[in-house]
């Protein structure tokens, strides 16, 4: 009987832990963490143990592994510090501005100024592999580890260590005493195994942004001052001993006066990170969302924010519902919105956001970070390499969600995607574009990174809706989630999904939009009207190909459209204007710079001819897109 139960248990665990990535030969590593950590809330120092059972799912024999030690970034002289000095537009949160002797405004890195008691650090001691001590070397935020015994394909090994760290003064994302007074924003705080996957090692130093992790299970015990309320990744195992708003209804939790600390035990299955936030003055609310998912809210007991945080809760229920319906069901049973950090940042089963915001801003940031549960966490693209997929897709779906769920009085005509196009055109005009395939740390400046990842990445989706239609695009998002969740999908996986859903060939779209700085510019070159006969010549000025919708409006307000397929697609999209009659013309082969077509007005007078009236196609020069008569 025991054996049978054991069998059932392993079957259910392994089926839950399995990714569905359909690519032949795809693999990713697997981790099982056990951590036991004690936090000194006075000194902002912590220490603990970590046991990591590491499974090598690759076909390689590993002789080395790498850990991230993110908190080492918050030391004077770190790479993150150096980058703050070299970049032309450093993140405002990370620098102090002052006027120099010459009267010119200068910026000073906040990391450079940190005193020894204020820096962040993460030290690993007594690192062993299956009980054997390991040679290791700290290189900035990366720990390079030589294995004592090579790890064979499909084999497991157990790493054990002691570690200690100091929570830095808040400079970026994590730290102590945030600007809004949250004591502990604990993100990227523990020695974290770097991911080795089908693309190889991803031991990127922490310079500024973006994370990539190994899928697995976390079992974390946190011991700290009993007055602190903790919000975290994972499910609290001892909620009826802890209380703090976690306890079941009717349970009365009493902690002996003599007892100074509480040990919180969290378990998070099938995630690739573990984050937490804690404060002695948190309000903790719980509401139930779709599929009985518990939504937890942790925010300061500050009368200026309480009303907005209460109003946020039913909106978060709507957001969860929207993402479930438009991407796919949230697979965990809990999600936490925790006040903390320095803006908004996504983590496993939770987010840390700043909380002193107007209600629309509070809903907006929650929508964005929550959407990252799908586009970053569950669809765990490598954010360093494909930052436009997590930030762009998240921006798209959260803008869409907010537009749908918010009270739409007075904003009926608002296009929630307009600002993404505007930002992209601004970047093109400044001639500052770099391909979206640029590593997140290697953009020339923050503006370029931001517009590329968030705006151009979001336009990738809305413009795809122009290319294959809204229905097929929204279906692609769902299929992508269905096929690739719990794995590390790539840009090509998304493109293939769109191809599978639509039947169109889309290689040109992915390549031109994400791997080049090619732009789109089509124009109306010439229109000759001879009684009822119209002869239109269009030109392609930009390098990037596109299919074209051309709308003709007549003086009597009737209209018709012409569709010019992009022959590279081998595809005709559904009529985007079902109420307007459409003529599908011959395809336009890219190399031809002009395209000619004729039509008969049947006695009507043309008022306007316009290319892509939806403006979902990111044509960089709209001035030549139409002709009035
Ligand atoms: Zn984001």
SS (H, E, C) 438-454: CCHHHCCCHHHHHHHHH
| Of 55-59, 134-138, 198-202, 401-405, minimum mean pLDDT range | 401-405
- 220, 237 Cβ separation under 8 angstroms: no
For residue 49, the number of C-alpha atoms closer than 13 Å in the C-beta half-sphere is 7
Nearest to 325, CA basis, from 478, 165, 141: 478
Strands 175-176 and 184-186, bridge-based pairing: antiparallel
Rounded CA gap, 334 and 351, in Å? 12
Q: What share of the chain is helix, strand, coil (3-state, %, to 5)?
A: 30, 35, 40
Query: Shortest CA distance to 492 belongs to which of 473, 518, 510?
Result: 510
Give the distance (Å) from ligand 1 centre to CA of residue 329: 20
Query: Mean per-residue pLDDT for 426-445?
Result: 94
Calpha distance 445→209 (Å, rounded): 13
Between strands 276-279 and 229-232, the pairing is antiparallel
Could you tell me how many residues make up the chain?
629
Distance 574 CA to ligand 1 centre (A): 32
- Residue 18: band (very low, low, confident or very high) from pLDDT cuts 50, 70, 90: low
Query: Ligand 1: distance of its center to the CA of 370 in Å?
Result: 9
* pLDDT above 60 for 67: yes
Predicted local distance difference test score (pLDDT) of residue 8:
44
CA of 346 to the centre of ligand 1 (A): 7
What's the CA-to-centroid distance between 378 and ligand 1, angstroms? 14
Q: How far is the CA of 377 from the centre of ligand 1 (A)?
A: 11
388 C-alpha to center of ligand 1: Å?
A: 10
Phi, psi (deg, nearest 5) at residue 286: -125, 135
Max Cα-Cα span within the chain: 97
Work out the mean pLDDT of the chain and round it to a whole number.
95
Q: What angle do CA 458, 461, 465 make, to 5 degrees?
A: 140
pLDDT band at 415 (very low <50, low <70, confident <90, very high): confident
Q: How far is the CA of 11 from the centre of ligand 1 (A)?
A: 35
Sign of CA pseudo-dihedral 72, 75, 78, 82 = positive
Confidence of residue 414 (pLDDT cuts 50, 70, 90): low
Ligand 1: distance of its center to the CA of 349 in Å? 15
Ligand 1 mean position, distance from CA 493 (Å): 20
Query: pTM of the predicted model, to two decimals?
Result: 0.95
Radius of gyration of the chain measured on its C-alpha atoms? 27
The confidence score (pLDDT) of residue 408 equals 62
Confidence of residue 15 (pLDDT cuts 50, 70, 90): very low
Tell me, in angstroms, the distance from the centre of ligand 1 to residue 164's CA.
Answer: 30
pLDDT band at 571 (very low <50, low <70, confident <90, very high): very high
Distance from residue 251's CA to the centre of ligand 1 (Å): 38
Instruction: Answer with the residue of higher pLDDT: 520 or 1.
Output: 520
- For 459, the 3-state DSSP assignment is helix
Span from the CA of 447 to the centroid of ligand 1 (angstroms): 15
How far, in Å, is the centroid of ligand 1 from the Cα of 390?
Answer: 7
**For the range 560-564, what are the long-range contacts, defined as Cβ-Cβ under 8 Å and sequence gap of 24 or more?**
562/597, 562/599, 564/538, 564/588, 564/595, 564/597
- What is the predicted pLDDT for the residue at 211? 87
* Residue 208 banded pLDDT, cuts 50, 70, 90: confident
3 state SS for 335-387: EEEEECCCCEEEECCEEEECCCCCHHHHHHHHHHHHHCHHHHHHECCCCCCCH
The predicted structure's pLDDT at residue 181: 98
CA distance 292 to 290: 5
Alpha carbon distance 108, 98 (integer Å): 8
Question: Cα of 376 to ligand 1 centre, how many Å?
Answer: 9
Residue 347: CB partners within 8 Å, gap ≥ 6? Answer: 187, 233, 273, 274, 275, 377
Q: What percent of the chain has pLDDT over 70?
A: 96
For residue 391, the CA-to-ligand 1 centroid distance in Å is 5
Helical (H) or strand (E) element with 200: strand 200-202
Is 105's pLDDT higher than 90? no
CA of 337 to the centre of ligand 1 (A): 15
Q: What is the model's pLDDT at position 413?
A: 44
């Amino acid at each position: 009987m025991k054996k049978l139960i054991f069998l059932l248990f392993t079957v259910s665990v392994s089926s839950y832990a399995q990714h569905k990535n359909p690519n032949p030969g795809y693999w990713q590593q697997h981790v099982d963490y056990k951590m036991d950590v004690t936090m000194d809330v006075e000194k902002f120092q912590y220490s603990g143990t970590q046991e990591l059972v590491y499974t090598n799912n690759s076909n390689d024999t590993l002789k080395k592994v790498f850990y991230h030690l993110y908190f080492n970034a918050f030391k004077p002289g770190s790479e993150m510090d150096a980058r703050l000095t070299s970049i032309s537009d450093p993140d405002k949160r990370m620098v102090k501005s002052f006027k120099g002797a010459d009267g010119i405004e200068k910026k000073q890195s906040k990391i450079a100024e940190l005193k020894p008691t204020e820096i962040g650090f993460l030290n690993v001691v007594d690192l062993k592999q299956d009980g054997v001590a390991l040679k290791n070397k700290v290189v900035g935020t990366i720990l390079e580890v030589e294995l004592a015994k090579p790890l064979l394909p499909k084999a497991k090994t157990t790493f054990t260590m002691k570690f200690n760290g100091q929570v830095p003064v808040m400079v970026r994302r994590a730290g102590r005493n945030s600007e809004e007074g949250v004591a502990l924003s604990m993100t990227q705080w523990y020695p974290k195994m770097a991911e080795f996957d089908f693309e190889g090692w991803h031991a990127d130093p922490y310079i500024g942004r973006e994370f990539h992790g190994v899928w697995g299970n976390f079992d974390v015990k946190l011991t700290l001052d009993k007055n602190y309320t903790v919000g975290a990744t994972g499910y609290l195992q001892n909620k009826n001993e802890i209380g703090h708003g976690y306890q079941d209804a009717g349970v009365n939790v009493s902690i002996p006066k003599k007892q100074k600390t509480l040990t919180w035990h969290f378990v998070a299955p099938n995630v690739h990170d573990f984050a937490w936030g804690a404060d002695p003055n948190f309000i903790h609310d719980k509401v139930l969302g779709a599929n009985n998912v518990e939504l937890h809210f942790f925010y300061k007991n500050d009368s200026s924010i309480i009303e907005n945080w209460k109003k946020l809760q039913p909106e978060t229920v709507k957001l969860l519902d929207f993402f479930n319906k438009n991407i796919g069901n949230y697979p965990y049973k809990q999600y936490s919105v925790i006040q903390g950090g320095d803006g908004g940042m996504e983590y496993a089963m939770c987010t840390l956001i700043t909380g002193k915001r107007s209600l629309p801003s509070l809903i907006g940031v929650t929508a964005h970070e929550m959407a990252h549960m799908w586009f970053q966490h569950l669809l765990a693209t490598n954010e360093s390499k494909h930052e436009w997929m997590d930030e762009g897709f998240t921006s798209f779906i959260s803008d869409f969600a907010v537009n749908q769920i918010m009270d739409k009085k007075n904003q009926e005509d608002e296009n929630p995607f307009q600002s993404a196009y505007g930002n992209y055109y601004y970047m093109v005009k400044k001639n500052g574009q770099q391909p979206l395939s640029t590593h997140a740390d290697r953009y020339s400046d923050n503006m370029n990174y931001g517009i590329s990842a968030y705006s151009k990445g979001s336009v990738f989706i809305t413009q795809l809706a122009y290319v294959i239609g809204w229905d097929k695009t929204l279906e692609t998002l769902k299929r992508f989630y269905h096929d690739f969740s719990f794995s590390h999908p790539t840009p090509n996986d998304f493109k293939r999904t769109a191809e599978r859903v639509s039947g169109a060939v889309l290689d040109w779209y992915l390549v031109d939009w994400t791997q080049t700085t090619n732009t789109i510019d089509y124009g109306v070159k010439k229109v000759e009207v001879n009684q009822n006969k119209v002869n239109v010549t269009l030109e392609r000025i930009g390098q990037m190909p596109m299919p074209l919708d051309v709308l003709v409006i007549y003086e009597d307000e009737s209209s018709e459209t012409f569709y010019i397929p992009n022959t590279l697609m081998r595809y005709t999209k559904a009529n985007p204007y079902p109420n307007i009659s459409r003529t599908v013309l011959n395809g336009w082969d890219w190399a031809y710079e002009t395209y000619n077509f004729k039509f008969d007005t049947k006695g009507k007078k043309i008022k306007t001819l316009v290319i892509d009236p939806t403006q979902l196609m990111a044509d960089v020069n709209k001035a030549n897109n139409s002709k009035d008569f």
